[in-house]
């Protein structure tokens, strides 16, 4: 697996304002129709693997930032390798309501990034015999 960037995220203290800004500037589709109220921005790209993103509130008193999510085949293995190389785990591995799995780490220089395994790429134990 080549580990592509599959998602981005803008973290800000004003998520509604930021989401509306990017929607208006770039003509992206905005929806929050999910169990977390996450503001998803769909770029409408017609490439083989469009990279959509979203807007999430920043922690109180913290500045905004942009975060990349990198798809990996094994989140646990990737967390172990990253922490071995000096990263710190900010958000432990979690399964999201839509079935995707993610974690957020802080690299040794202080930049956060996400790891993810999309539900669509995870093996189905009923099919693979791993039930």
Q: What is the mean pLDDT of residues 65-94?
A: 92
Distance, CA of 10 to CA of 15 (rounded, Å): 8
Is the pLDDT score of 30 beyond 70? yes
* Dihedral (CA of 89, 94, 97, 99) sign: positive
pTM of the entire predicted model? 0.69
Provide the residue range defining the domain that includes 11. 5-128
Top-ranked range on mean pLDDT: pick from 20-24, 67-71, 77-81: 77-81
What domain count does the chain have? Answer: 1
pLDDT at 98 over 70: yes
> In CATH, what number is assigned to the domain containing residue 58?
3.10.180.10
Q: Which pLDDT does position 124 carry in this prediction?
A: 58
């Amino acid at each position: 697996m080549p580990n592509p960037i599959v998602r981005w995220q803008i973290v800000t203290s004003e998520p509604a304002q930021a989401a509306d800004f990017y929607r208006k500037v770039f003509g992206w589709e905005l929806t929050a129709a999910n169990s977390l109220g996450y503001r998803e921005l769909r770029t409408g790209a017609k490439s083989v693997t469009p990279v959509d993103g979203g807007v999430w509130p920043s922690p109180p008193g913290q500045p905004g930032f942009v975060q990349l999510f990198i798809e990996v085949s094994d989140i646990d293995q990737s967390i172990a390798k990253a922490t071995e190389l000096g990263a710190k785990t900010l958000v432990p591995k979690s399964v999201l309501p839509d079935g995707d799995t993610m974690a957020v780490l802080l690299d040794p220089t202080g930049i956060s990034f996400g790891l993810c395994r999309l539900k669509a790429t995870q093996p189905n134990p009923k099919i693979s015999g791993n039930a």
